[in-house]
Structure 1
């Protein structure tokens, strides 16, 4: 009887851990969601013009979800246009933005911004609300009619760049 009881306890513990992991991932944006939201934000800006940035700046809009958000910048003017999680970054020079290792991720985003399918850029950044910097991979595309960029990222230590790039081809 004791062996059966231990077996049941082990099964219950495994199920609890599995549920906790699923709950954690349910609160994390997926790469597919990021691509869809960024493309939706680009379409929104195509329709609304620069006035559409107000919705991207709003932390309560559809463009801020789970553990991420859509941001926008203008590479030709070296300026951040929208960042609902870090509003103090708005107006700053995107090309001078560095991550926690000193990597100039903003410059890299601008250098790669002419890719018609968009681009994924990897850097270290904290989740909204603070905490330790984590591996963030942001998907960025250019809104051609406005010549501005929009992006959003995932916080993920495991996913490979090849897998992410397959999503946008």
Structure 2
């Protein structure tokens, strides 16, 4: 009986090793199912960029809740999870005062409540209204140039309210939509 247990253990171990190495797959998907998976993977990129943006804003808020304003310098670090390429986290107080703006640190400390986009859309006030709304979060579409560029592109930005102590902030990030 112990020889049978040994053989079963060896077979199970071998099977697990083959599954882990990718030599065999635990479920056998047909070609049509694989094609269906490929179609699902080709969904609009907008959806995955939205998920990424929301997850990064939520992670930034989590860090703020853990470390308070000590998190702010981390959001300014170039080539970090918070600021890379044309992605960055920005933070305002809900009175419009810009606290963190990695693409241009000289813009920090400015009141942005009157900020408008290329088409005069009042995005500063929209950001504040979203943060102070009952939901405390939402999306804004507007035209804005990429950092270091002058030609405006459609930008899709997520705003969410966050509180540290007695201070209420809006935390945001967005991405440019290829037209």
Q: Say whether the fold is shared (TM-score over 0.5).
A: yes
| Runs of 5+ unmatched residues, structure 2 | 1-41
For 1:1-169, list aligned pairs within 5 A: 30-76=49-95, 78-115=96-133, 116=135, 118-145=137-164, 146-157=167-178
| Runs of 5+ unmatched residues, structure 1 | 1-21, 159-169
Alpha-carbon distance between aligned partners in 2 of 1:132 and 1:63, rounded to the nearest angstrom: 24
User: 1:157 Cα shift?
Assistant: 4.8
User: What does the per-residue CA deviation read over 1:49-108, in whole Å, with 9 as the maximum and x for residues that have no partner?
Assistant: 1121111122332111343211010013x2101111132321111202121112220111
Stretch of structure 1 that moved more, 135-144 or 29-38: 29-38
Alpha-carbon distance between aligned partners in 2 of 1:118 and 1:59, rounded to the nearest angstrom: 26
TM-score where L is the length of structure 2? 0.66
- How big is the alpha-carbon RMSD for the aligned residues of Structure 1 and Structure 2? 2.1
RCO (CA 8 Å, sep 6+): is it higher in 1 or 2?
A: 1
Alpha-carbon distance between aligned partners in 2 of 1:86 and 1:103, rounded to the nearest angstrom: 21
TM-score where L is the length of structure 1? 0.70
**2:172 aligned counterpart, secondary structure:** strand
Size of the aligned set, in residue pairs, is 131
**1:60 aligned counterpart, secondary structure:** coil
Q: Which has the larger radius of gyration?
A: 2
